[in-house]
Amino acid sequence: MSLQIYLTISIILISFNGLFHRSILKDGNSDSRAHTIVFLGVGGIIGIVLALIQGKLQFSFPSSLLPNFILLVLLSTPAFVFSYRAYQLIRASEVLIFLTTARLWNVAGAYLFLHEPLTIQKILGALIIFTGIAIVLFEKKKFALNIGAVFALVAAFLFGMNDINGYLILRSVNATNFLIYGNLLPVFALILIQPKLIKKISFYFKKQIALKILLLCTIDTLGTIALYLAYQMGRNASVIGPLSATRVLLSVILATIILKERNNITNKIIGAVVA
């Protein structure tokens, strides 16, 4: 399949992520750290199954990539926790739009670390994304920036930098195997730092929650692998990153319909379209 097909599959599948996360995390018994462990843990297991089916399961990697994998843990672990904390505090549509700023860091990181050219079009694209975010923040004739938005924006920066680090790893590691590392390493890190989080996982064993998690992880795993395959085919992070951000528009529309998130809806839709 072509880069465009892989990217389209990724955009459609990952568009549903925010809705699932919000529907689970709005429950008062949820925990952003335990959610990270369960979501990434199940996703990692699904990745292992896919790698076994492909006959490409491999737990070793070049020793030269060790610093990159350490950086992956340092960046992605807090990124996931902060983003899920944001889902607890504000609406899914808002979190998704704020997370779009990760694409700005994709462009900057691709220029600084991947040595991809920085063009006028990319700079203008970054400014337009900022404009879209500003429109979403503008409510009742003032800019409303709350703690949930701050968590989402910090997570976006960490995700953006982690994407660049991931693209470096993907130059040498199979996409499915990288997904396994990307999911399970943060899980091990969180359990090592806070082993008591294991007790909070019981919340996710409830039948309805467990079904949502399983469906969410399956959709996310397939969408993420499609995104990685798109990069491996195109090798252009500063283009693929911003293009993948178009899923925010679909996500905002789905949140409006399914989660009935209709406050400040005009600004959200305009901001999503602009971004």
Does 173 score more than 70 pLDDT? yes
Residue 35 has a pLDDT of 94
Distance CA 42, CA 221 (A): 10
The predicted pLDDT at position 128 comes to 76
pLDDT band for position 50 (cuts 50, 70, 90):
confident
Say whether pLDDT at 239 is over 70.
no
Indicate the pTM of the whole model. Answer: 0.79
pLDDT of residue 275: 63
Least confident of 48-52, 171-175, 244-248: 244-248
Predicted confidence at residue 69, as pLDDT, reads 95
Q: What is the pLDDT of residue 189?
A: 95
The DSSP secondary-structure symbol of 203 reads: G
Please, what is the average pLDDT of the chain? 82
236 pLDDT higher than 80: no
Least confident among 93-102, 233-242, 260-269: 233-242
Residue with tokens 């997370």: 99
Instruction: Determine if residue 235 is left, alpha or beta; phi over 0 gives left, psi from -120 to 50 gives alpha, anything else beta.
Output: left
Q: Residue 75 in contact with residue 165, Cβ under 8 Å?
A: yes
Which pLDDT tens digit goes with each residue over 65-77? Answer: 999 999 999 999 9
Task: Give pLDDT, residue 106.
Answer: 73
Higher pLDDT residue, 130 or 97? 97
Instruction: Write down the pLDDT at residue 85.
Output: 94
Number of Cβ within a 10 Å radius of residue 120: 7
The predicted structure's pLDDT at residue 238: 57
Band (145; pLDDT cuts 50, 70, 90): low
Separation between Cα atoms, residue 169 and residue 16, nearest integer Å? 26
Task: Report residue 69 as tokens.
Answer: 């994998």
Q: 274 pLDDT band (50/70/90 cuts)?
A: confident
Q: Which of 107, 98, 100, 197 is nearest to 151 (CA)?
A: 98
Q: 3-state SS of 51-67?
A: HHHHCCCCCCCCHHHHH
pLDDT at 48 over 70: yes
d(CA 94, CA 254): 12
- Residue 178 phi/psi, 5-degree rounding, is -65, -40
CB 158 within 8 A of CB 14: no
Band (pLDDT 50/70/90 cuts) for residue 22 is: confident
pLDDT at 40: 94
What are the pLDDT digits (tens) for 190-219? 999 999 999 899 899 888 899 999 998 889
